[in-house]
Amino acid sequence: MRSKKVPTGRKLSFIEQARRRQIIEAAIGAVAAEGYGGASLAKVARRAKISKSVVVYYFGGKNQLLEAVVEQLFREIWDSVRPRLEAETTARGQLRAYIESEFTFLEQHRDRLLTITYILMNHRDREGALYLHDQAEQTNLRSLGAMLEQGQKNGEFRAFALQPMAATLMHAINGALGQWASDPKVSLRDYAQELVTIFDLATRKQTARARRAR
């Protein structure tokens, strides 16, 4: 992802950073409303009430702008999730907090979910790879894998293969969010509650009593 610099590499002033944030917000609105293909730089500029040349000055082109949008949205999601994670003292609590806090944030910011979904599922590099999607998946897998591994180390979680469990959890979360993106009448709270229960049961370490009862 790009740093907060204009194409020439010069660091941005406070006013320029504010302009950059304004353009990113306009891009989020354009992608959420128009879809990936419909969110042209011209439409972003109109939403921001600036000229297209100003957008190009700050970001160089659509690729760089969309990269900045994705970076911003993931930062927002993480900023909403992190306090809940840090407040939990157990891996089970962190797993619950991770699911619930992400769903809560996105339920309150539907435009963010639509934007990040449209970009990740459509934006490709010159070789045709969905590179932003792939980067996001790898980052999420590392985060979830670390959380699950810690639960195993401290004795809360049973022995299981970390990669498959992390991938299953990630895809379950993404699947629920995808359903809500398609149908806003879907209850994200119900999804969050069920996913918390499913993965609590899937990861929980059996007690000696439960093992004897089998």
* Domains of the chain: total: 1
Residue 8 lies in a domain: no
Residue 173 lies in a domain: yes
Residue 121 lies in a domain: yes
Residue 45 lies in a domain: no
| Span 103-151, pLDDT tens digits | 999 999 999 999 999 999 999 999 999 999 999 999 999 999 999 999 9
Residue 208 lies in a domain: yes
pLDDT grade, residue 14 (50/70/90)?
confident
Q: Is the pLDDT of residue 3 over 50?
A: no
Q: Is the pLDDT of residue 60 over 90?
A: yes
Q: What percent of the chain has pLDDT over 70?
A: 92
CATH code of the domain covering residue 198: 1.10.357.10
Residue 105 lies in a domain: yes
Give the separation between CA 54 and CA 48, rounded to whole angstroms.
Answer: 10
* Torsion angle defined by CA atoms of residues 204, 210, 211 and 212, in that order, rounded to the nearest 10 degrees: 170
pLDDT grade, residue 208 (50/70/90)?
low
Give the separation between CA 145 and CA 130, rounded to whole angstroms.
Answer: 22
Residue 53 lies in a domain: no
| Mean local confidence (pLDDT), 89-98 | 96
Residue 200 lies in a domain: yes
Residues spanned by the domain of 89: 69-213
